[in-house]
Amino acid sequence: KYNQQLLKQTLSEVEEVKLMLRTIFAGLKGSFNFEQSLIERIACEDEVDREILRLLFGVGSPGLLPKDLAAKLARFKVQRFQISRRILRMNKRLQIEFGEEVAEQRGWHWALTSFAFETWGGNEKAG
């Protein structure tokens, strides 16, 4: 019982620290330089997510339909509806941490947001 109580207390303290970090980060967001690896580590769960982002960066502003993304990712055996769900999950994870989204829907197409495009573009120029 004591260990469970200690665990709950520790978990609540960790959550307080996370909240404090998010608050500090929100204040410094304008001066913070995001890197592609940081965004990928937070937003992406696996190689399929990374590949989706790379494809979206490659096509630029017009974006791609989920069925076109699924066709290009045939080796991973993902369906078109799974593409949209994966993008929404990536957006949710990034929204929680940074208050930004990685991709947005433009009509039926998915395209990188300006935030994500600047992050990827900045690294392409530097690297």
pLDDT digits (tens, 9 = 90+) for 5-48: 999 999 999 999 988 888 887 777 766 777 888 889 989 999 99
pLDDT of 127 higher than 60:
no
> What pLDDT sits at residue 38?
84
Closest CA to 29 of 94, 90, 91, 88: 94
Q: How far apart, in whole angstroms, are the C-alpha atoms of residue 101 and residue 111?
A: 11
Distances (CA, A) of 66 to 1, 36, 92, 94: 50, 23, 18, 20
Q: Whose CA is closest to 55, among 25, 78, 29?
A: 78
What pLDDT is recorded for position 122?
58
Burial profile 81-108: b = 16 or more Cβ within 10 angstroms, e = fewer: ebbbebbeebbebbeebbebbbbbeeee
Q: Which two tokens stand for residue 127?
A: 């690297």
The verdict on pTM exceeding 0.85 is no
Phi-psi region of 101 (alpha: psi -120 to 50; beta: other; left: phi over 0): beta
Instruction: Give the length of the chain.
Output: 127
Average pLDDT of span 110-114: 93
pLDDT for 125 equals 41
CB 83 within 8 A of CB 110: yes
